[in-house]
Homo-oligomer: A and B are copies of this chain.
């Protein structure tokens, strides 16, 4: 039996597990609450339910050291509790609204929980601006909340680097409504983080804004370079030189400038919506956010227009999409532009065949209910066009002469530049 946990983490997604495993690895006994019992079973066996290599390794270690417990939510009492980290999937991407029912339940449970010590509730999940105020009202509705402190402490982890970014963040943002409320969390963090990591203590809303605006900035940067790429494609320009020429200005830089089908994932597009979905009443709109989303949409619409010009009506035509993950070498398809493209093509009557090499065991994609192809060849067979959906490394080694034999028509789209254009062109493929 492990010692009683002083730390509870709600939610066993990327953020919750990275936080829990990181703190457990530093010797704190941590309990993770997760409502999906299947996920808990998988985790107890030392297996992550998503692809995150270093976190996977660390999970096994902390389980072995008995520092991590995994449970479904229950009426258990946690007398020794000092911290509750909330890391649930906080907003519904379809509506850009917070999942209020989940938060109400949690607030009730927290306010009823009796602990020997004051309790710090940490919002790790992404909030719309003004949500901490609202959650505070929920927490204090029924009784005085003298024993509770609420901290907005947004996560900034990149998928594929969940553990690394949790262990070595670029900055730590602590939002509180009373200065002293930050003290316990600061003490905990000082015990696990290097002193060189900047910590910014501010108010709730400012902390909420930092999180959303950072992701809006990144979306905005990607939208910019995608817009440039769209124009370069129309005009047949030298995109590599253009990207290099722009990025050599050190105020602009060359990192985080990869072009493809647009920006995706469970954070960037969602946060562009959330920043304009705030709880406050001024009606202020972040135009940078809505423009980034518009550009992201246009990329797909322009690609479909190109397809239509080559293939005529799309109805009944098979289109192969290679890669459905939102970025290379992950298996996460949430907010993926490749899936959005598939949906748009389906709506136009095309038969979409998706092959995602990191999801060969899954039958279906949750998003859009697409059946997944189980091999590259099955996807390519009789396709009227092939579209690179994700820049997975392994697509570089697809043999164009092999593909040429399988497809019906030799149209290919590779906005990511993973294929050797010359070789594919030699095999009769036309890049669209």
Contacts and interface: CB of A to CB of B under 8 A. Distances in A.
A287 interface: yes
Given A210-B245, A224-B288, A252 B217 contact: yes
Contacts of A295: 287-288
Contact of A248 (B170, B224, B234): B170
Contacts of A313: none
A230 interface: yes
A294 interface: yes
A209 B227 contact: no
B287 A246 contact: no
A210 B242 contact: yes
B241 A206 contact: yes
Contacts of A422: none
B206 A232 contact: yes
Given A200-B241, A284-B234, A218 B170 contact: no
A171 B253 CA distance: 12
Given A251-B218, A284-B231, A237 B291 contact: no
A186 interface: no
A286 interface: yes
A129 B209 CA distance: 37
Nearest to A255: B251
Secondary structure call for the A interface: helix
A251 B237 CA distance: 26
Contacts of A253: 251, 253
B294 A248 contact: no
Interface in A270-298: 280, 282, 284, 286-288, 291, 294-295, 298
Nearest to A253: B253
Interface string A191-213: 00000001011110111011001
Contacts of A244: 171, 198, 200
Contacts of A317: none
Contact of A209 (B156, B217, B223, B232): B232
Nearest to A233: B284
A239 to B, nearest CB: 8
Interface string A239-267: 00110111011111101100000000000
A235 B228 CA distance: 34
B170 A237 contact: no
A76 interface: no
A418 to B, nearest CB: 22
Contacts of A245: 171, 173, 200, 202, 206-207, 210, 214
A220 interface: yes
Nearest to A291: B291
A221 B251 CA distance: 10
Contacts of A125: none
A218 B286 contact: no
Given A156-B249, A213-B228, A294-B287, A235 B170 contact: no
A285 to B, nearest CB: 9
Interface string A311-351: 00000000000000000000000000000000000000000
Interface of A: 129, 156, 170-171, 173, 198, 200-203, 205-207, 209-210, 213-214, 216-218, 220-221, 223-224, 227-228, 230-232, 234-235, 237-238, 241-242, 244-246, 248-253, 255-256, 280, 282, 284, 286-288, 291, 294-295, 298
6 contacts: A171-B245, A206-B242, A209-B228, A214-B249, A214-B252, A227-B287
Given A171-B245, A251-B256, 17 more contacts: A170-B250, A171-B248, A205-B237, A206-B242, A206-B245, A207-B245, A209-B228, A209-B231, A210-B245, A210-B246, A213-B242, A217-B224, A227-B287, A230-B284, A231-B284, A253-B253, A288-B291
